[in-house]
Structure 1
Amino acid sequence: MCGITGWVAFDDDLTRQRDVIDRMTRTLLDRGPDDSGTWVRTHAALGHRRLAVIDPAGGVQPMEEVTSEGAVALTFSGEIYNFRELRAELTGRGHRFRTASDTEVVLRGYLEWGAAVASRLSGMFALAVWDERVARLTLIRDRLGVKPLYYHLTGDGLLFGSEPKAILANPLCPRVVDTGCLRELIGFTKAPGWSLWKDVREVPPGTALTVDRAGVREHTYWRLGAAEQVDDLETTVARVRALLADAVAGQSVSDVPQGTLLSGGLDSSAVTALAAAELTGRGEKVRSFAVDFVGQTENFVPDELRCTPDAPFVREVSEHVGTAHQDIVLDPRTLADPAVRRAVVSARDMPIGLGDIDSSMYLLFQAIRTECTVALSGEFADELFGGYAWCHHEASRDAHTFPWLAFENAYTGDRTALLRPELRTALDIESYVADEYATALADIPRVDTDSPFERRMRVISHLHLTRLGRAMLDRKDRMSMAVGLEVRVPFADHRLVEYVHNVPWSLKTADGREKSLLRLAVADLLPRSVTERVKSPYPSTQDSQYAAALQEQCRDVLAELDHPLFGIVDRTWLTAVLGQAPAAITGQSRTGLERVLDLYHWFDLYRPELRLS
């Protein structure tokens, strides 16, 4: 896994800037607690923080190969699941390896194929190669965007990092947030390339970026395609099972302890069952982990999103599959701890406002990290197989906007309600979302044989996989890497994604329910209760003590009359919400309080310069 950063400056001598590259690298300590390294030459500097997973002794970075024409150096984050096959191919081409790491396979792959190595890699990765032979930096990001990578153009080069915090540690990058930056934070369209920080951009998934004295060039080596799928149901189910099983098997390779995330839902249960079968064949027993809240099962109240608590299904899957299981049970006080919130805001570099959904995930991963270094997740299955409620809700499905923004229930509402009135006007979120939606539609390829309905469902699938899914993958990456845990996502295997995306909606809902195709593909592995369970999102505490703790903390914030967050937040709105009973603080009201507290810590951590107009 790890964290990477670097600096290219064609008009500067970076050997005199070692303290700056060291500072940039230190910001990524949590992503790589096992080791640190920097590589500095006149016009290029690379930094690396390591989480050792494959070949702990040999995969030290940055990794360098000295050729007769100059050095080639790599800093790399992620895992390459087909590295053994590539190693054999490269050996056959005359390469000789010093280590057993996937890092060296990537480096020698670059030496053999240049930036075209990207299309040969199967896995999750973000990497940077400085090629001294041609004075060029190459940045490459995996196809689905599982691993993050950001950059900032300077007057004579570029800064990059796994997270914006590494770039912001360099004085060449101002900490500016303007109106345009805030539009996406509130609008939640997951605009390609966006980061909260002005002039800090995200390298698009499936993209190679090259930087030399001639400038910056972007090359897309992979994009989500569209094709007519003619397989019948039986063939499709078998193909999905084979692709998923192969992805889980490939992602179960590790030189350190590993486990699975288990919620008792279809997605995580399928991954856990397949991982258990794979590890059993190697004489190992899979460890599974679940998050729960004190009293949640006994006092659970069904709502519009969650019909059942997770715990009973978790136990049933664990017993059925034979995992060594551990529940991580959290209480309201721990969830509301300001130190936890501060860690979450720091991990995400922005005040996203997801509250206990983020905090509990962070605490879950923190607990898992004491037992394992790697965990497999069911993330991305809803985006891939159409598991979200709005896919089956006619009004949301047919709306002329992103379906997750059109879906209405007790948890949705006006996302701008907590903002100062003049800021709401300046942001004009409705127009922003409409423009982004039009841009997104223009990028979706067509299949001439699609019916109007199948075309609409293809559009929704594409939006999920290239927009919403990337936001969910980023969240999972940031929360896990903040505690030095590598979370792998078999459902984001690009071969599986390419196949399932093109399966007609009629087959994806073959039994009339959400995720029919996945259910049929893994039905023999799981208890019937789990395969028949209605989808339940990631859990959230229902304890009103948590809402009361949010109110108490927000009252302290409200008392700080000159705090800069009130350049964004409407005091009148906050005062009104604080006047409600804790039991009434649900849905958007609770989310609003979460966002106020996130903003409070974000201002303190980052000291941003706001340019709002």
Structure 2
Amino acid sequence: MAALEDAASSLHDEPWYERETFETDDYALGLVHHGDRDPSGRLTYDDGDRAAVVNGAITNRDRLGLSTDELFESLFDDPAALLARLDGPFVVAAIDQTTDRLIVATDRLGTRPCYYLDDGTAFASGLAPLITRLDDPTVDERAVSDMLLMGYVWGEKTLVEGVTRLPPATVLEYRAGEVSTDRYWSPSFDALPDDGYLTRLADRYRTVIDDTAGTIDDDAGLWLSGGLDSRTMAGELARHAGRAFDDLEAYTYDANPSGGGNPALARRVADHLDIGIDQVELTPELFLERLGEAVDLTDGMLRWSSFLNLLSVYALPDDHAGVLMEGAGQGELMGHHLRRRHFTGTDSPVESMYWSEAMVDHGTVSDLLAADVDPLQSFVDTAERSDARTKKGTILEAHLDNYYARMTLASNEIPRSRAGTRVPFAHREFLEYVARLPLKYRIGTVPFTNGTIPFGVTPAKLTLTRDLNPDLATIRYERTGVAPKYPYPLHVAGFLTTTAAARLLKRTTYGGRSTTDEWYRNDPRVREFFDDLLERACERSVFDAETIRRLRREHLAGDADHMVTSIAAITTLELWMERNLD
């Protein structure tokens, strides 16, 4: 039990957190949770010889008709069979003295992190508790390479050798000193017919929000912007306010991009739905105060520019909603990340992964690394291990297994430190449908640009907004400047026109100068903070010091924009290593 207490003390803690522990002769299991906040965000079971926890919510439990005892009895009887039936964002962990067994499992999207020592003797929701069990924690240079290339880590590796991340839709069993993992679910990637696809998508989307709403006890909160993903989610959640849960509250911030009009548009959506909305501010002071904590919460494996806006959670009013949600991942599942070009304009899955995920060229990564690591090796390994029979299947399988768990949903640990969270999309029927998205509904790119300039929106996102709430489709879409009720070609033209105009006027926009770059250039405290981190990174053996200094010079001279890419990745890594390894 002492080892369990030590592990729990290494995790993020707040005065209002509570702990539950379970112990058998040979195993111990602990759960750190939010107490009275979001009580439906967990389940526990203990019969003396066996114990289990669900950290998260099973959204289809009522439909399955499973009592708590029936759920956990099924888990012990046949973990993979049960998990294949469950929807929702969760991690499951169980200890079974009667069969000398430990069980850990992730949901279909891997929405919550779960790490384990390679020998299977310990697991945790963060790296810190496992680092304390290693005699000589060593940085995995392949993971550092991933961070420098993509701003996140690909595959099952972590920043620490000997610690592995359990992938999505996977159950791990430790028995008699042996570790085994089993994939319990994988969708088909064969495209469905174009005809009627978008109409049926709306029905499936409504179902996932309905199921999720039924797991919220108190108030629900939603990050709302001028975009379409949060708008459609707000419209569906509003149907349940006062019924499934007490009230729906919205929060907004001036970002994506700053000065782009998001707060005003979010208020129009909130007013239409008759829900309250608060605007929270992200300031340089808050950024500097909370960045280290946020880097720890994301285990140093997500560059800070990817979660910057979510630091606004620290500025929420004290009486904020007990469950916080956002539209992250929604658009990507509907074709907004993987572009048509990534399938039709590449020769191999490795090339496709590189073009879809890399934020900088692989030559820059090689220059930054002191070690001899191939920046593309993670993609090569993924392609070689894939069971998919086609190039398209390999690309989509890699995307589903990596992009959501390790990038777009990884930042959820930050709001989860303050409240309960829900990711509605860890839902079998929905995922099996969007996995078969026809190619024509993926985001296109401007001809003769080598696929580098996107159209800015997908037909699926527009149609979903129109079908679910036509009134919300009359409110301008911030990214294109056009209301969703208008045809797709007008949105493409609007995106290209407004983005080009904003750049000419030197306003922050898509692909333009970032808010943090403005702080870096104009706020002495931010400049000193990052310059000191970069200089300390120069002293670390994993990096090439001269390349770091060259990138900084290029950035300040205006010859290149490295702030949200290389500089963000380097400083994230350096900050995490100082706080967790040094």
Structure-2-length-normalised TM-score? 0.80
Q: d(CA) in 1 for partners of 2:292 and 2:300?
A: 11
Change over 3 Å in CA distance of 1:214–1:275 after alignment to 2:
same
Q: For residue 345 of structure 1, what is the aligned residue in structure 2? A: 295
The answer on 1:551 being equivalent to 2:512 is no
Partner of 2:372: 426
2:26 aligned residue (43, 50, 64): 43
Q: Deviations over 1:21-50 (max 9, x none)?
A: 101012234489531122233311111101
Structure 2 residue corresponding to 1:588, chosen from 562, 569, 572? 562
SS in 1 for 2:130: helix
What one-letter code is carried by the residue in structure 1 that aligns with 2:188?
G
Question: Within the alignment, does 1:196 sit opposite 2:159 as a pair?
Answer: yes
Alpha-carbon offset, residue 168 of structure 1: 1.7
**CA apart distance, 1:240:** 1.2
User: What percent of counterpart residues are identical?
Assistant: 20
Q: CA deviation at 1:372?
A: 1.5
8 A Cα contact 1:77 1:125, kept in partner: yes
In the aligned structure 1, how far is the partner of 2:334 from the partner of 2:295? 30
Which one-letter code corresponds to 1:497 in the other structure?
A: L
In the TM superposition, what whole-angstrom CA distance separates every residue of 1:341-395 from its partner, at most 9, and x where no partner exists?
Answer: 211221122264333x42331333662774012122212123211113x615579
Query: Secondary structure of the residue that 2:529 maps to in structure 1?
Result: helix
Contact preservation (8 Å) 1:285, 1:324: no
Q: 8 Å contact 2:219–2:245 — kept in the other structure?
A: no
Contact 1:290 1:327 survives alignment (8 Å) = yes
Shift of 1:144: 1.4
User: Cα deviation per residue 1:554-585 (whole Å; 9 max; x = unaligned)?
Assistant: 4434666xx78532333334444555685838
Task: Tell me the SS of whatever aligns to 1:158.
Answer: coil
Match for residue 504 of structure 1? 438
**Preserved contact between residue 88 and residue 427 of structure 2 (Cα < 8 Å):** yes
Pick from 394, 403, 406 the counterpart of residue 355 of structure 2: 406
More deviation in 238-247 or 522-531? 522-531
Unaligned runs of 5+ in 2: 445-454, 478-483, 496-508
Specify the SS of the correspondent of 2:84. helix
Paired residues for 1:162-561 under 5 Å: 162-170=125-133, 172=134, 174-188=136-150, 190-213=153-176, 215-227=178-190, 229-230=192-193, 232-233=195-196, 236-253=197-214, 254-279=216-241, 284-292=246-254, 296-297=258-259, 308-335=260-287, 337=288, 339-350=289-300, 352-355=302-305, 357-364=306-313, 367=316, 370-388=319-337, 391-393=339-341, 397-398=345-346, 400=348, 401=350, 403=352, 405-406=354-355, 412-414=359-361, 417=364, 423-424=369-370, 426-430=372-376, 432-433=377-378, 435-436=380-381, 438-439=383-384, 442-446=386-390, 456=392, 460-481=395-416, 483-507=417-441, 514-524=457-467, 525=469, 526-528=472-474, 529-530=476-477, 531=484, 540-541=514-515, 544-549=518-523, 550-557=526-533
Q: Match of 1:73, SS?
A: strand
RMSD: 3.7
CA–CA distance in structure 2, aligned partners of residues 128 and 275 of structure 1: 30
Conserved 8 A contact 1:291-1:364: no
The letter for the 2-side match of 1:444 is: A
Q: 2:46 aligns with which of 44, 49, 64?
A: 64
Shift of 1:330: 1.8
CA distance in 1 between counterparts of 2:301 and 2:218 reads 33
How big is each residue's C-alpha offset from its partner over 1:151-202, in whole Å with a ceiling of 9 and x where there is no partner?
A: 1034xx51101111121233x4642114334333334485432211101111
Moved more, 104-113 or 202-211: 104-113
The answer (yes or no) to whether the contact 1:237–1:521 under 8 Å persists in 2 is yes
CA distance in 1, matches of 2:343, 2:436: 23
TM-score by length of structure 1 reads 0.77
SS in 2 for 1:107: helix
Counterparts of 1:326 and 1:585 in 2: how far apart (Å)? 39
* 1:195 counterpart SS class: coil
Equivalent AA in structure 2 for residue 64 of structure 1: D
Cα drift, residue 548 of structure 1: 4.3
Q: Which runs of 5+ in 1 are unaligned?
A: 1-17, 91-96, 98-103, 298-307, 447-454, 609-613
Distance 1:581 1:518 in 2: 35
**Does the 8 Å contact 1:152/1:173 carry over to 2?**
no
Residues 548, 582 of structure 1: 8 Å contact kept: no
**Could you say if the C-alpha distance between residues 129 and 23 of structure 1 is closer, same or farther in structure 2, counting changes exceeding 3 Å?**
same
User: 1:101 matched to which residue of 2?
Assistant: none
Letter in structure 2 aligned against 1:72: R
Shift of 1:221: 1.0
Residues 89 and 107 of structure 2 are in contact (CA less than 8 Å); yes or no, is this contact kept in structure 1?
yes
Distance change >3 Å, CA 334–CA 55, structure 1 → 2: closer
* Displacement after TM superposition at 1:397 (Å): 4.6
Question: 379-388 or 399-408, which moves further after superposition?
Answer: 399-408
What is the deviation of 1:425?
5.9
2:579 is matched by which residue type in structure 1?
L
Measured in 1, the distance between the counterparts of 2:420 and 2:345 equals 34
Number of positions where the alignment pairs a residue of Structure 1 with one of Structure 2: 536
Q: 1:406/1:53 Cα in 2 relative to 1: closer, same or farther (>3 Å)?
A: farther
**Distance change in 2, residues 1:325/1:264 (3 Å):** same
Query: Does the CA contact (< 8 Å) of 1:187 and 1:433 recur in 2?
Result: no
Higher mean C-alpha displacement, 392-401 vs 285-294 = 392-401
Which of 126, 130, 133 matches 2:98? 133
**1:300-329 Cα shifts (integer Å, max 9, x gaps):** xxxxxxxx4423332232222222111112
Question: What code does the residue aligned with 2:144 have?
Answer: L
Q: Which has the higher strand share?
A: 1
Distance 1:503 1:467 in 2: 18
Could you tell me which residue of structure 2 aligns to residue 451 of structure 1?
none
Query: C-alpha distance in 2, partners of 1:594/1:499?
Result: 35
Question: Structure 2 counterpart of 1:40, which letter?
Answer: E
